[in-house]
């Protein structure tokens, strides 16, 4: 084997080892993101898959490529170690910043808001306003979204202020002062939930998908008459549909259908 071939072979081996380590770290990060922060279906509803994919693609490619460029066995070992250490630090810093960005966009609450569900994300909630929430909701969750609802307006002044805030971009479901226990809105949820059969009639081509989502999410057979649906709104105009139990208002399943 020529010197040039040996030189490039060692570079590719080093880059391959680095790629393997990078993929291992990416797998650990994926577990954090998709199991803890963005459990199904929020990886789709809240854009977690695309955000994480961009972060990992950049990070996994950057490190091995830099190793391929700088690795040279003719360098003094101390210099080679320094160069590889710098690459590792840069890569970890990029991954850390990327995960921080993904964490800021994570869903923190699924809120029933007047006539719909809304997925609320960490960046949508102003930190100072958390003091206005009940004690149990003053810290945004790190283990997936909490199920909440919004209370009735206290008076016309509050209704006017909250409506103006919504027009300005801060939705009512993202206002901590409006949060209450999910079950307190049970009458409104059941009143808003339309029959599942109506959804199937509106979207006949997606009947099988609706049935599959219901079957996959429920451990028991549910008659169609016992299930209702409520539209779900998320950031970036992502619209899904929530299937609920028409007796208890329990959230049963999600389907990627715009039912508004």
Residues 60 and 127 in one domain: no
Do 114 and 98 fall within a single domain? no
Q: Output the pLDDT for position 219.
A: 60
Q: What is the pLDDT along the chain (260 residues), one digit of tens a residue?
A: 566 667 678 888 888 888 898 889 888 988 999 999 999 889 888 888 887 887 777 777 888 888 888 888 778 888 888 888 898 898 888 888 889 989 999 999 999 998 999 999 999 998 889 999 999 999 999 988 999 999 998 888 888 888 888 787 788 999 999 999 999 999 999 999 999 999 999 999 999 999 998 888 766 677 778 899 999 998 766 789 999 999 999 999 999 999 88
Q: What is the pLDDT of residues 194-247, one digit of tens each?
A: 999 999 999 999 999 999 988 887 666 777 788 999 999 987 667 899 999 999
**pLDDT tens digits for range 53-68:** 877 777 778 888 888 8
Statement to judge: residues 16 and 96 lie in one domain? yes
Non-local (6+) Cβ contacts of 180 within 8 A are 134, 148, 149, 150, 151
Q: Using CA atoms in the order 122, 50, 210, 192, what is the torsion angle rounded to 10 degrees?
A: 30
Domain count, the chain: 3
**Which of 68, 88, 104 is the endpoint of a domain?**
104
Same-domain pairing of 159 and 202: no
- Phi, psi (rounded to 5 degrees) for 119: -85, 120
CA distance 173 to 114: 9
Vertex 257, ends 172 and 230: CA angle to 5°?
A: 45
Q: Are 99 and 115 in a shared domain? A: no
Q: What was the pLDDT predicted at 130? A: 92
Say whether both 93 and 118 belong to one domain. Answer: no
Q: Could you please report the per-residue DSSP string of 216-257?
A: HH-SS---GGGEEEEEEE-GGG-EEEEEEETTT--EEEEES-
Q: What is the pTM of this model?
A: 0.84
- State the residue for tokens 């049970």: 186
Q: So what's the pLDDT on residue 3?
A: 67
Do residues 60 and 137 share a domain? no
Same-domain status, 72 and 116: no
Domain that holds residue 7: 3-104
Residue matched to tokens 């979204």? 145
- Which of 162, 185, 208 delimits the end of a domain? 185
Q: Is the dihedral of CA 42, 121, 219, 193 positive or negative?
A: negative
Show which of 185, 206, 222 is a domain's final residue.
Answer: 185
Same-domain check for residues 89 and 118: no
Are both 111 and 99 inside the same structural domain? no
On whether both 123 and 73 belong to a single domain, the answer is no
Round to whole Å and give the CA distance between 237 and 240: 10
Are both 71 and 124 inside the same structural domain? no
Going from the C-alpha of 133 to that of each of 98, 105, 250, 253, the distances in angstroms are: 29, 20, 23, 28
């Amino acid at each position: 084997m020529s010197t040039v071939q040996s030189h490039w072979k060692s570079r590719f081996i080093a880059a391959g080892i680095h790629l393997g380590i990078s993929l291992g770290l990416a797998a650990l990060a994926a577990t954090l993101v998709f199991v803890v922060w963005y459990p199904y279906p929020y990886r789709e509803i809240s854009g977690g898959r695309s955000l994480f994919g961009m972060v990992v693609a950049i990070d996994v490619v950057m490190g091995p490529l830099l190793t391929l460029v700088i690795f040279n066995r003719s360098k003094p070992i101390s210099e080679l170690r320094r160069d590889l250490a710098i690459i590792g630090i840069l890569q970890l810093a990029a991954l850390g910043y990327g995960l921080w960005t993904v964490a800021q966009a994570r869903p923190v609450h699924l809120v029933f808001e007047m006539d719909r569900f809304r997925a609320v994300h960490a960046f949508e909630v102003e930190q100072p306003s958390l003091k206005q929430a009940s004690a149990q909701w003053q810290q945004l969750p790190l283990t997936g979204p909490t199920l909440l609802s919004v209370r009735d307006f206290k008076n016309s002044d509050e209704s006017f202020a909250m409506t103006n805030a919504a027009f300005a971009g801060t939705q009512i479901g993202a206002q901590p002062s409006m949060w209450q226990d999910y079950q307190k809105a049970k009458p409104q949820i059941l009143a808003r939930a339309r029959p599942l059969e109506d959804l199937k009639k509106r979207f006949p081509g997606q009947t099988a998908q609706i049935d599959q989502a219901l079957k996959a999410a429920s451990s028991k057979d549910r008659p169609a008459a016992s299930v209702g649906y409520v539209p779900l709104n998320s950031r970036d105009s992502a619209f899904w549909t929530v299937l609920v139990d028409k007796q208890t208002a329990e959230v049963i399943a999600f389907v990627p259908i715009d039912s508004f």
